[in-house]
Structure 1
Amino acid sequence: MSRPAVLLPSERASALGLSLRSHALPAAVAAGTFWLAYDGGSFDLPSRNGLAAALTWAVVVAVVLGLWPRARPTRAAAVVACSMAALAGWTLASAGWAASAELAVVELNRVLLYLAVFLFVVFAANRGEAGRWADGIAAGIVATAVLALMSRLYPDVLSDDNALEFLPSAQNRLSFPLDYWNGLAIFSALAIPLLLRAAVVSERAAARALAIAPFPVLASVVYLTSSRGGVVTALTGIVLFAALTDRRLRALVAIFFGGLGAAAAVALLQGRTELVNQPGTEAAVSQGRTAGILIFVVAVTTGLAYSLAARLVPPGIRLGNRARAVVAVLAVAVLAVGVFAADPAERFREFKQPPPALGEENPTGVHLTSASGTGRWQQWEAAVESFETRPLEGRGAGSYGAWWAMNGTLPEFVNDAHSLYLETLAELGLVGFGLVVVLFGTGIAVGLQRVRESPRGERATAAAPAAAFVGFAAAAGIDWMWEMTVVSVVGVALLGLVAGAALQPPQRRSAMRLAGRARLAVTFAAVVL
């Protein structure tokens, strides 16, 4: 009978160091994500500029010292980086004909920030590290969602006064700490496919439970924001992850238990109308205390239930061809019934109607199920009309607000078209729109390619950031998420994981070396830009 192997002190120290390093990366990413969200979503100009400067210098210094890139940059990363740089250049050029050169420069700074985020992730993420980056992003988002939910359930501990000053008429919609309800909901929804990945790939019961337990919290946040954009983003991520992963059976089990927990949490909130629609009242405060305890119990129960159920579904078990066909047919049937019942023609007519007057907003549950566009159609029409005046070059970066002030059809202040793609057409014309299409199209296409190229049993790690990025791309088309800094930082970081080398299998330290002069030349060019 052989003795169990005993690790030497040096081996134990090495193993401990490896464990600490493996947990340090997700912790650092989570802390950074949480801080950007807590800082009002890093929406204000000083926050954005400070972040851009910090990331740019981090990239420059790491490249000069030879620490980065940690893996050879991919062609896809080069395409995305070049399209971002070209978009920045075209944005700068548009200052020459924009209504306000100052606003054009502000938009230039925004694009340069996202370019810095992309390069930071591509250079800092080594091969095989995508899962740990995804875990860190998800943890930061979940921490933000917990804080947001606590601000509604326990207002004596946390306050949401900034959002009330920004738009008092929407005081019932949860906004803290991002100060915009749709931004908070979409930000929270981006974590869902990342959490599903952790739930599917982990073989430790505690890790599986921790991955699914946040679903009731995330659902509560989306419900209290009354954000249909958050619902769209969440459903996009869930459906795409289930379709792309090869551990589909376990993914369906995770979605089932996560959905049950989410539904239970929303049901608890629906029965507390003052908490949902009249925050700050005595009744709402009382309801919040009990709701907090019950949602916590639901979250723990959800995590434990999935963790136990997942033991019955080993990761090697996959749906057969017949089972996949049955699931596909059922999904199509449910979708067809839903579309028929929704009466899309009538819903579209309702969507195009002008929004209700201030003070006539619907309660949370009614708003979530309504088809009202809340002025989106009118804002999009204005963007198209602006584009038609200068289709090639657009009217200049940051010009949509001025165009709306002169030609808008609603008596309200609007600075953004609530769609990145239509606003780009209006401000930067076909040239800028083409660059945005290359940027997002490359990310989506490469994400699908990374999933196909992943070894069998490991596609979930590629499917999660790919699905979350598509969710971000969809959200950017229906709201001003491009201007919501923390949401776009997460979206661009996901793009960096997808387009960079993080999804490639790990290998020994690369022998790649850049000549000193070439590195200094690249660094100098980056500093000048």
Structure 2
Amino acid sequence: MLELERTLLVLAGVTAVIALARREHVPRLAGLILASITVVSTYALATRLFPDRLGSYDPVAGYRLSDPVGYWNTLGIFAAMGALLAVGVAVDAKTRWVRAGAAGSLVPLAATVYYTYSRGSWLALAFGMGVLVAFTPRRLRTVATTLVLAGPAALGVLLASRPYALTHDDASLAQSSTAGHRLAALLVVLIAAEVGLMLVLDLLQRRIAVPRAVRLACGTALVVVLLVVLAGVFMREGGPVSMTRHARNAFSASP
């Protein structure tokens, strides 16, 4: 319960900073927050990929990523929040290289969430994406960007889940280091792929004009789908109270 309270405190702090900022400063502030989250999350990921260089190898204590935040659920939510910001910045930033950089950050952020083994973080990410799609005025562009950028990020998570030495607590330092170095090289390739995809998508979006009627129809359809999915989840989980209890259990459950 203490970890959940600290996680909510982090979320409340970031939300308050954005809410209190002037409207014209929000995009820049979101980019700065995303950069900060990415730096912290990448360092956390590096403790798993480069245990020989960062000197933090402890397979028992390090089974779930927690450094430098100190709590694996907080780190997972932190990285998940960064992934949501990355999508938002990739959609709304004025500069294409800022959008491309935001896209590239999705790979280490998603891998960091995976290595925290926090089910609650994945639930929060899914819920946040639903809210983002439901309330953004650029709904079609947000969905298109998310679908395009989800591929390399998901592949990064899949690759992160494969090496035995990086996912089990009985691996030696040498085994973990070798597997980590290989995965790091693959993630760098995926980051470059994300950047390239965002630049291509940005070019296509500027050249292809979607009629307003089509955008409205697609947006309405997406909202209907989200409402149907939400209703189905409520029916399956037994309502908001039951869902809250399950989410709390997900934060404290063993991996």
> Are positions 1:322 and 2:217 aligned together?
yes
Amino acid at match of 1:373: N
- 2: CA distance, partners of 1:207 / 1:293: 23
1:290 CA displacement: 0.5
Structure 2 gap segments, 5+ residues each: 1-5
1:274 alignment counterpart = 165
1:337–1:272: structure 2 CA closer, same or farther, 3 Å change rule? Answer: farther
1:245–1:127: structure 2 CA closer, same or farther, 3 Å change rule? Answer: closer
Query: Higher helix proportion, which one?
Result: 2
1:310–1:271: structure 2 CA closer, same or farther, 3 Å change rule? Answer: same
Residues 66, 72 of structure 2: 8 Å contact kept: yes
Amino acid at match of 1:176: D
Residues 189, 233 of structure 1: 8 Å contact kept: yes
The secondary structure found in structure 2 opposite 1:174 is coil
Amino acid at match of 2:63: N
- Write the mapping of 1:60-75 to structure 2, written as runs, cut at 5 A: none
1:236 CA displacement: 2.6
- 1: CA distance, partners of 2:223 / 2:127: 16
1:372–1:140: structure 2 CA closer, same or farther, 3 Å change rule? Answer: closer
Residues 51, 176 of structure 2: 8 Å contact kept: no
1:174 CA displacement: 0.9
Residues 91, 145 of structure 2: 8 Å contact kept: yes
> Are positions 1:373 and 2:249 aligned together?
yes
> Are positions 1:223 and 2:114 aligned together?
yes
1:371–1:186: structure 2 CA closer, same or farther, 3 Å change rule? Answer: closer
- 2: CA distance, partners of 1:231 / 1:183: 12
- Write the mapping of 1:54-133 to structure 2, written as runs, cut at 5 A: 122=20, 125-126=21-22, 128-133=24-29
Amino acid at match of 2:137: D
- 2: CA distance, partners of 1:300 / 1:230: 25
Residues 119, 251 of structure 2: 8 Å contact kept: no
1:286 CA displacement: 1.2
1:258 CA displacement: 2.6
Please, what TM-score do these two structures have when normalized by structure 1? 0.39
Structure 1 gap segments, 5+ residues each: 1-42, 44-109, 353-369, 378-529
Larger radius of gyration: 1
Amino acid at match of 1:232: L
> Are positions 1:151 and 2:42 aligned together?
no
The secondary structure found in structure 2 opposite 1:176 is coil
**Alpha carbon RMSD of aligned pairs, Å?**
3.7
The secondary structure found in structure 2 opposite 1:214 is helix
1:273 CA displacement: 2.3
Please, what TM-score do these two structures have when normalized by structure 2? 0.76
1:150–1:236: structure 2 CA closer, same or farther, 3 Å change rule? Answer: same
1:272–1:242: structure 2 CA closer, same or farther, 3 Å change rule? Answer: same
Q: Percent of counterpart pairs with the same letter? A: 27
1:142–1:257: structure 2 CA closer, same or farther, 3 Å change rule? Answer: same
- 2: CA distance, partners of 1:205 / 1:372: 39
> Are positions 1:264 and 2:155 aligned together?
yes
- Write the mapping of 1:157-168 to structure 2, written as runs, cut at 5 A: 157-160=53-56
> Are positions 1:309 and 2:205 aligned together?
no
The secondary structure found in structure 2 opposite 1:178 is coil
Residues 192, 237 of structure 1: 8 Å contact kept: no
> Are positions 1:192 and 2:83 aligned together?
yes
1:218–1:183: structure 2 CA closer, same or farther, 3 Å change rule? Answer: same
